[in-house]
Homo-oligomer: A and B are copies of this chain.
Amino acid sequence: MSITPVLLCGGSGTRLWPLSRKSFPKQFVKLVGEETLFAASARRLSGPGFAAPVVVTGSDFRFIVTEQLAEAGIDPGAILIEPEARNTAPAVLAAALHLAAADPEAIILVAPSDHVIPDAALFRSAVTAGLVAVAQGKMVTFGITPGHAETGYGYLELSGTPEGDGAAVPLTRFVEKPDAARAAEMVAAGNFLWNAGIFLFAAKDMIAAFRSHAPALLAPVEAAVAAAKPDLGFLRLDPAAWGGAEDISLDYAVMEKAENLAVVPFTGAWSDLGGWDAVWREGAQAAGGVGSSGPVTAIDCEDVLLRSESEGLEVVGIGLKNIFAIATPDAVLVADMSRAQDVKAAVAALKKKGAKQAEAFPRDHRPWGWFETLALGNRFQVKRIVVHPGAALSLQSHFHRSEHWIVVEGTAKVTIDESVQLVTENQSVYIPLGGVHRMENPGKVPMVLIEVQTGTYLGEDDIVRYDDVYARGQGAKG
């Protein structure tokens, strides 16, 4: 009896800006340790006893998901694409329906993909311990032993103190995020655990729970799964049906109403990395509480997190206390440690003033690879373009710019009007204004190309598409 992990990967949190942005949220970033949170989550729920994972994500992230799974050496069972973000209830129901179609008894572990759980083996033991309750028709939620009186998490009230044997305990009720006094009371009481938002259940039980407690969600999500379309290895849920599903969390829609719940206590370390203060706490620290990442020099600093996200960016802190400073090539955030939850408001302020850094990174990920602008002048732009092996850009032309392409790594197959040629390292081609062209990587290694554009208008929307394997439209990006 194997467990199918369902990794929820739709987040767009901004509390870890500038590293986490809407276009590339925190689960895909290396925040703690050497792996991204998503890769670590997938790896944590792999191996004996686990089936290939199902990932539920948004369209913008689908190629990041496949890239990071490939890097981690994990083959997904399915990647469901949500046409738009609808919180956890529709996502979990869609995954349950998808898996139930093959096996209504399928056992599912739903987990967010942006949490930190350093002891993966201990966590897998807790998951295994929950199977007993699942066999009895229960839905299991995992409760974390509180390390401190945290006000940022919801709590699970148990009918008694856990026995310490790891066995499931009946749940009395869910408790919303408390104030500080109430949090302290609950931690002292001993029968309250943090709600980690991780659930283990049989597919049919979860579907039945939705039928009882959130019946209005069933019809649209069933329709979205039934009409889902395979697309290059992804399964796109039907947008029209999906649009009818309520935006609601699994806790609110189902869990807080269900009777057949049990809690498996998890005594290991856990964090949802809900802010830079949490990243500082969870990460390694030198003497004086100095956490650092990248080329950082800390002089007389105490209880600080200093991060440089680029090898070419030196960060220096002098005489700082309770400060975090996060530096990227296009954005720097410096804040008092106590203000970690206000980063969200800062991002909103940036968005309001139109700063592209609020949501986007300089490196723009596309189905075929990524690009970034290296220099932008009045009438020219220089880009670095990286194309995955086997990938191709659309056949396209521009009204306002010519392009020089110089291949610096790998080999490109370049179509210009009627001619097709291979262009390899240290060779260049010229795409005249109006020329119909396509760039492909026919090789086995990434192809890196420097593009120098000149013209009066250099926007991404100056594009006419003639043919696109990724089915994008006129004027759409990339």
Q: Is the CB of B331 within 8 A of A313?
A: yes
For the complex, give the distance between the alpha carbons of A163 and B325 in Å.
51
Q: Is the CB of A332 within 8 A of B308?
A: yes
For the complex, give the distance between the alpha carbons of A417 and B318 in Å.
53
Q: Is A164 an interface residue (CB 8 A)?
A: no
A 341-363 to B, binary, CB cutoff 8 A, 1 in contact else 0:
01101100110010101000000
Q: Could you say which of A26-34, A35-43, A52-60, A425-433 contacts chain B?
A: A425-433
Q: Could you say which of A61-69, A258-266, A404-412, A461-469 contacts chain B?
A: A404-412
Closest residue to A432 on the B side, CB-wise?
B426
A 416-457 to B, binary, CB cutoff 8 A, 1 in contact else 0:
000000000110101000000000000000001010101000
A396 to chain B, nearest CB (A): 19
A221 to chain B, nearest CB (A): 39
Q: Is the CB of A343 within 8 A of B330?
A: no
For the complex, give the distance between the alpha carbons of A334 and B314 in Å.
11
Interface size bracket, A side? 35 or more
Q: Is the CB of B329 within 8 A of A329?
A: yes
Q: Which residues of B contact A338 (CB under 8 A)?
A: 319
Q: Is A48 an interface residue (CB 8 A)?
A: no
Q: Is the CB of B357 within 8 A of A314?
A: yes
A 370-395 to B, binary, CB cutoff 8 A, 1 in contact else 0:
00001101111010100000000000
Closest residue to A347 on the B side, CB-wise?
B316
Q: Is A364 an interface residue (CB 8 A)?
A: no
Q: Is A327 an interface residue (CB 8 A)?
A: yes
Contact of A342 with B330 at beta-carbon distance under 8 Å, contacts A382-B374, A425-B454 already known: no
Q: Is the CB of B408 within 8 A of A316?
A: no
A363 to chain B, nearest CB (A): 12
Q: Is the CB of A428 within 8 A of B428?
A: yes
Q: Could you say which of A84-92, A113-121, A295-303 contacts chain B?
A: A295-303
Q: Is the CB of B314 within 8 A of A330?
A: yes
Q: Which residues of B contact A409 (CB under 8 A)?
A: 377-380
For the complex, give the distance between the alpha carbons of A375 and B203 in Å.
50
Pick from B18, B295, B379, B408: contact of A408, CB under 8 Å: B379
Not counting A299-B349, A319-B336, A378-B409, a sample of 5 additional A-B residue pairs whose C-beta atoms are within 8 angstroms of each other reads: A315-B332, A316-B332, A316-B335, A377-B448, A425-B454
Show 9 A/B contacts (Cβ-Cβ < 8 Å), sorted by A.
Answer: A299-B342, A318-B342, A319-B335, A378-B409, A380-B409, A380-B450, A382-B450, A425-B454, A426-B454
9 closest residue pairs by CB, A with B: A380-B408, A318-B335, A319-B336, A319-B339, A374-B374, A426-B454, A327-B332, A406-B452, A314-B331
